[in-house]
Amino acid sequence: MSSRESHGLLHPAGSPEDAWWRHAVIYQVYPRSFADADGDGVGDLAGVLSRLDHLTSLGVDALWLSPFYPSPQVDGGYDVSDYCGVDPVFGTLAGARHLVATAHERGLRVLVDLVPNHTSDAHPWFVAALASAPGSPERARYLFRDGRGDHGELPPNNWRSIFGGTAWARITEPDGTPGQWYLHLFDPHQPDLDWSNLQVRADFLDILRFWLDLGVDGFRVDVAHSMVKAEGLPDWDEPVRMIGGAEHSSPQEAPAPMFDQEGVHEIIRSWRRLLDSCPGERAMVAEAWVEPADRLARYVRPDEMHQTFNFPFLTAGWDAEALRKVIIDSYVADDAVGAATTWVLSNHDVVRHASRFGMPDPTGRPNGIGARDPQPDAALGLRRARAATTLMLALPGSAYLYQGEELGLPDHTTLDDDLRQDPTYRRTHGVELGRDGCRIPMPWSAGAPALGFSPTGRTWLPQPAMYHDLAVDRQDGHPGSTLELYRELLRVRRERGLGWGSLTWYAPLADRPDVLAFHNGEVLVIANLGTRPAPMPEDTHVLVSSTPEAPTDQIAPDTAVWLVSAS
């Protein structure tokens, strides 16, 4: 045991002078569902601009915008048909530039989404590939292969799409004959690029440069672990595990041939060199569903990404032992490579944590909840969600928030099946309901049409009745509301320097495996995930409590508190 560990110190302190992303709280905006300025029922960039005050009053450091690029919107914009533009449904390029500049004036950094694994099938590169002959440079941008079988009628290998079904689609050649197949790890409308192609690499460097020149502070990189596929595209007989949106091979074994290949790191390094050549502190965060933690940490070595999302934290469930292990593994792995750890509980791909933690099995990770499923206990889910966030925002490092979690929003868990838009639902024939439930338009004003989301009352997905009482204007200024809790957590986090702080386990509660307790500097954090109360340490007072009423002598189940010494 190192001297660090023998004193319970898991993670040493940083400093407020550290690069911004090492301790930032970053708010994810899903533009389709944030705020709709023009009234067509789909959120837009003008809507984001009009609501920047919400982010500054919340106290976040940065926002990450999910894709707003031209796209047929088959997968909520993760099917990009022009990487250097703005879809008319979201606004204009001038509007994007104005949004970035205005956010900067308000002290907010801006990350944009980069989607390098695949394009839309409407992208001119893919249209040109279809119109060109097998073996042409146009086809070489993508993973076209001849089929197996006597007449090429069988897919080139046995890979499965992450959205269900085969990962291959057969095309009709320009002369009208049945032709080659192309790989799509996601929807058939999202053909995978071939990253061994130097043109693809050069084009993406130009795309990054375009947005860096426009002024963005960096990128969230979509499925950053899948760009490179194993040589020869070998069959993969193991099931590609898909648990609540996660997909990875067994951590102990070689990675699946479509994920976490060594060649990915070379691409990431080329991007890092570009970012480092730009003025300011530009940053990249990898969306990489890679386990275990030391394997994931290879993406954040000093010349690679700045951050990765911490999905093991998100998928650990409401379970103190599992969370403790993730916290330890994350710091040990990230500290070993000098990277800042990140934390996240919700995003646009998973059931919101206010719903997950209210399920009969709060460690489960459903891919959508529907009207025929057991319904979450809303009050219990919200209570635990508030405690989980209180725990998360006390952890040194950077944290990601997903729009609406500051209101305690649950998923829409009774959405009509015929309104579902996530391609997962269709491709799995309804076995997986998909992610629409976590992508519902935001409620801003309880009395307004579409709860203030859109001036006309139109919404691309309906809001559940429960959102009425959770609207921003119902919580703003109300002590004890979830919105005020988030504001308070972010204010105290900043005031006490928790983001760049340290973590030392608190020994007196070591006999309570169902309780997480640690010091971050002078703040003692106690989260009770068990079923019986935990004792309140003597001579302390409560700085922030996840419950509307601060506890006095005992910390009730499903509660987290930040304490300081009373003396």
Give the pair of three-digit tokens for residue 529.
């995930």
The answer to whether residues 450 and 458 touch, using CB atoms and an 8 Å cutoff, is: yes
239: Cβ–Cβ under 8 A, 6 or more apart, which residues? none
Tell me the CA distances in angstroms from 480 to 247, 275, 306, 378, 536, one per residue in order: 38, 42, 35, 17, 20
Out of 349, 405, 411, 558, the residue judged to bind ligand TEU by CB under 6 A: 349
284: Cβ–Cβ under 8 A, 6 or more apart, which residues? 218, 219, 220, 221, 268, 271, 272, 275, 305, 306, 307
242 binds ligand TEU (CB under 6 A): yes
Q: Which is nearer to ligand TEU, 138 or 222 (CB)?
A: 222
Q: Which is nearer to ligand TEU, 41 or 164 (CB)?
A: 164
Q: Which is nearer to ligand TEU, 247 or 436 (CB)?
A: 247
Instruction: Give the residue among 446, 426, 443, 444 at the shortest CA–CA distance from 434.
Output: 426
Which residues ranging from 487 to 526 are in contact with ligand TEU (CB under 6 A)?
Answer: none
Does residue 292 have a cis peptide bond before it, meaning omega lies within 30 degrees of 0? yes
219 binds ligand TEU (CB under 6 A): no
Q: Which is nearer to ligand TEU, 117 or 330 (CB)?
A: 117
Out of 367, 482, 504, 528, the residue judged to bind ligand TEU by CB under 6 A: 367
81 binds ligand TEU (CB under 6 A): no
Query: Shortest Cβ distance from residue 115 to ligand TEU (Å)?
Result: 6
Active site residue 287: yes
d(CA 319, CA 314): 11
Give the pair of three-digit tokens for residue 90.
């979201």
d(CA 488, CA 394): 12
Q: Which is nearer to ligand TEU, 44 or 222 (CB)?
A: 222
Active site residue 5: no
d(CA 497, CA 522): 10
Residue with tokens 């206990």: 377
Q: For the window 178-217, what string marks contact with ligand TEU as x by the rule CB under 6 A? A: --------x-------------------------------
45 binds ligand TEU (CB under 6 A): no
Which residues ranging from 276 to 305 are in contact with ligand TEU (CB under 6 A)?
Answer: 287
302: Cβ–Cβ under 8 A, 6 or more apart, which residues? 337, 338
Q: Which is nearer to ligand TEU, 246 or 489 (CB)?
A: 246
400 binds ligand TEU (CB under 6 A): no
Ranges of H-type helices in 187-310: 198-214, 264-276, 293-296
Out of 110, 130, 193, 223, the residue judged to bind ligand TEU by CB under 6 A: 223
Can you spell out the DSSP letters for 204-238? HHHHHHHHHHHT--EEEETTTT-SS--TT-----S
Half-sphere exposure in the Cβ direction for 154 (13 Å, CA): 6
Give the pair of three-digit tokens for residue 56.
């500054």
Please give the size of the binding site for ligand TEU, defined by CB under 6 A: 15
334 binds ligand TEU (CB under 6 A): no
Out of 424, 454, 463, 481, the residue judged to bind ligand TEU by CB under 6 A: 424
344 binds ligand TEU (CB under 6 A): no
Q: Which of 187, 192, 287, 422 is catalytic?
A: 287
Query: Shortest Cβ distance from residue 258 to ligand TEU (Å)?
Result: 11
Q: Which is nearer to ligand TEU, 331 or 400 (CB)?
A: 400
Out of 247, 329, 411, 558, the residue judged to bind ligand TEU by CB under 6 A: 247
The answer to whether residues 42 and 460 touch, using CB atoms and an 8 Å cutoff, is: yes
Query: Shortest Cβ distance from residue 138 to ligand TEU (Å)?
Result: 22
Site residues (vs ligand TEU, CB under 6 A): 75, 78, 115, 162, 186, 222-223, 242, 245, 247, 287, 348-349, 367, 424
**Residues with a known catalytic role:** 222, 287
